[in-house]
Amino acid sequence: MKIGQLAARLRLPVATLRYWEAEGLLPAAQRDASNYRRYGASHLERGLFVRNCRSLGMSQDEIKQLLALQQNRQNDCHQVNRIIDTHLQHLQDYIASLSHLAEQLTALRNQCQLDLPIESCPILRGLQKLESKEVPPSLHPNNG
């Protein structure tokens, strides 16, 4: 199948598949006589695996580790569990960080219940004085 067909079956943009191929998450496709990429069932299977890992918030590095473990039949689930446990801890830390951010925003919002002139806005003044941690990288728009 061509890349557009694979993308449609995976419900992903073609650009994502090209990126995954360039990053080694998806094996390189064979080229036909017209120089079109040709993908097979193994690409679909790998694409589903990567897509599902990404939907769980896994990083490329984590996915590459899982793929490497999957390729070596001498491995056991212990190493997979370690990767998943580490990822789960990162998610729990991230959730705690988001909860803290929500508490701070709620506290700021609760400071202003009136329609005051902008120069008297307690929220804007509070944002200038707020003691907060650095924004988690995953919340920055360029790191999505």
- What's the CATH code of the domain at 33? 1.10.1660.10
The reply to whether 101 and 48 lie within a common domain is: no
The reply to whether 81 and 46 lie within a common domain is: no
The reply to whether 81 and 138 lie within a common domain is: yes
Is 41 a domain residue?
yes
Is 128 a domain residue?
yes
Q: Identify which of 80, 75, 74, 29 has the alpha carbon closest to the alpha carbon of residue 58.
A: 80
pLDDT at 132: 65
Is 134 a domain residue?
yes
User: Nearest 5°: CA angle at 47, between 43 and 51?
Assistant: 180
End of a domain among 59, 90, 105? 59
CB-based burial label for 47 (10 Å; 0-12, 13-18, 19+) = buried
Is 65 a domain residue?
no
Number of domains in the chain: 2
Is 17 a domain residue?
yes
- Residues whose CB falls within 8 Å of the CB of residue 102, separated by 6 or more in sequence, listed in order: none
The reply to whether 49 and 103 lie within a common domain is: no
Is 70 a domain residue?
no
Boundaries of domain holding 50: 3-59
The reply to whether 139 and 87 lie within a common domain is: yes
pLDDT tens digits for the chain (144 residues)? 999 999 999 999 999 999 999 999 999 999 889 988 899 999 999 999 999 999 999 999 999 999 999 988 888 899 999 999 999 999 999 999 999 989 988 988 888 877 888 888 888 888 888 776 666 655 544 443
Contact in structure between 97 and 138 (CB atoms under 8 Å) = no
Is 64 a domain residue?
no
Is 72 a domain residue?
no
Contact in structure between 66 and 53 (CB atoms under 8 Å) = yes
